[in-house]
Amino acid sequence: MLVPAREPLRGVRGTRVVARPEAIDAAVVPAGAVVLRLAPDEAFVLGAGPVQVGHDAYAIVVDDSGFSAARLSWAEFDELIAPLIEWPLPTDRPALAQGLIAAVPAKLWLTRDDVLLLCPAAYDDDLSERLR
């Protein structure tokens, strides 16, 4: 388990997309999928089903299970994670935030209801230990 949380997840599966920004903007994703825009030309899509990217002959669309994740309530986030962040969080929701948490690279998907914490699976043990 990454952190004590309501719904701990491990080895989160998604689809990594590397393509021209306008191709990612026009991508067709499964209903209910969450598209985390990691960079203008890169996205990670959480959700089961195929991702279709047109308008870019060189687009890369691959399954990716390289993240560990945990879903936290805002109360859990405020107690466990917020004290370990040294950078400002975006105030709009939903929003993706990226940076170091306890000196480990991580991503946060912030919604009005909860927070999804993602970190590269290779750093899962390090982050878990630092959150104790």
Give per-residue pLDDT as tens, 100-132.
999 999 999 999 999 999 999 999 888 888 887
Q: Whole-prediction pTM value?
A: 0.89
Question: Residue 108: inside a domain, yes or no?
Answer: yes
Note down the domain range covering 32. Answer: 7-130
| Distance of alpha carbon 36 from alpha carbon 16, whole angstroms | 10
Question: Residue 13: inside a domain, yes or no?
Answer: yes
Q: How many domains does the chain have?
A: 1
Question: Residue 114: inside a domain, yes or no?
Answer: yes
| Distance of alpha carbon 121 from alpha carbon 41, whole angstroms | 22
Question: Residue 23: inside a domain, yes or no?
Answer: yes
Question: Residue 2: inside a domain, yes or no?
Answer: no
Question: Residue 1: inside a domain, yes or no?
Answer: no
Give per-residue pLDDT as tens, 45-101.
998 899 999 889 999 999 999 999 999 999 999 999 999 999 999 999 999 999 999
